[in-house]
Amino acid sequence: MKYRTLGGSGIQVSEFTLGAMMLGAWGTADHDEAVRIVHTALDAGINTVDTADMYSLGESEEIVGKALKGRRDDVVLATKFHNPMGEDPNRRGNSRRWIAQAVEDSLRRLDTDWIDLYQIHRPDPETDLEETLSALSDLVRAGKIRAYGTSAFPASELVEAQWTADRRGLVRPRGEQPPYSILARGIEREVLPMARKYGVGVITWSPLSGGWLSGRYGGPDGADPRTSHRGNTGMVDSLFDMNLPGNRAKLDAVTELKKVAAEAGVSLPTLATAFVRSHPAVTSVIMGPRTMEHLEGMLEGVDVRLDSAILDRIDEVVPPGTDIARDVTFYEPPALTDASLRRRR
């Protein structure tokens, strides 16, 4: 396992981060088995664990807290806030009021005195950015968090956060957590270059593009995404609705990428994670196993490096900076979601 510095923070994180979203009711409901998954990842050299308050409504944080007993000092622990944690409209968002409560709730569930990387799960157009950064800076100075970052922020807001922190004398954000895969390369245009410019570490998620790059689909022997992919509800996931042109384009790309993986002598999932790790702006890649088998499969590719010839082949299938079927987004700015902001009266 190799380690890299998270932006300008000086914190050393493993190239792979254990994502804990599937630990708890959303995935591995057996706490003992979930703890074993965490311990296996740590024993393999992974030193970074990422969770969020919303994952299984706090249960994921509780499991991580159990798993880190006696090992906390050796782990870079990351969690997130923003999403609703109850019906009360003030138990969500990026306000100072909610941050002050949310961090205490996470510290209690994680059974720790500090969080290494506290992340804003999504932008909040209703809260002034300076208000959020000021509250997080106070948490750094109080020793409750060591650093803070963002998730799924557009490049413009990453720059605004750096500018706001610099002008107001606040602690600068040191991490960004965007989705990134061979099928979703849009962040190569601005987000990743901005991260490098401002010393922001990048911990990416969804390297398998929600399962598209798992190796199950595409090619003559691939399964039919319409019938083989099921979400937690047992319903066919809309991300695999083959009536959508974008999903058909994904399937075509996956079929070609399977050929590239064969040329490289690796599995498609290994090709996918190695591709993400090859970008110089990427610090670590989150893998979120639901079972021990999933984790062991992911760890098989930990030492794989792709040469320029293979990376060129990937570029031929999905050009740099391209999102195939960006029909599902994780954050849309108000300028796109509020018609009144783009229609002159």
Q: Which residues are catalytic?
A: 55
Token readout for 74 is: 């050796």
Residue 224's identity, in one-letter code, is D
> Phi/psi zone of residue 236: left (φ > 0), alpha (ψ -120 to 50 degrees), beta?
beta
What does the alpha-carbon distance between residue 97 and residue 94 come to, in Å, rounded to a whole number?
A: 8
The C-alpha atoms of residue 223 and residue 215 are separated, in whole angstroms, by: 9
> Residue for token digits 């706001």?
164
Phi/psi at 203 (5° precision):
-110, 105
Contact (Cβ atoms closer than 8 angstroms) between residue 213 and residue 272 = yes
Contacts of 268 (CB under 8 A, 6+ apart): 213, 214, 215, 254, 257, 258, 261
The secondary structure of 15-48 as a DSSP string is SEEEE-TTBSTTSB--HHHHHHHHHHHHHTT--E
Kindly list the distances between the CA atom of residue 38 and the CA atoms of 30, 32, 35, 163, in Å, as whole numbers in the listed order. Answer: 13, 10, 5, 37
The one-letter code for the residue type at 293 is E
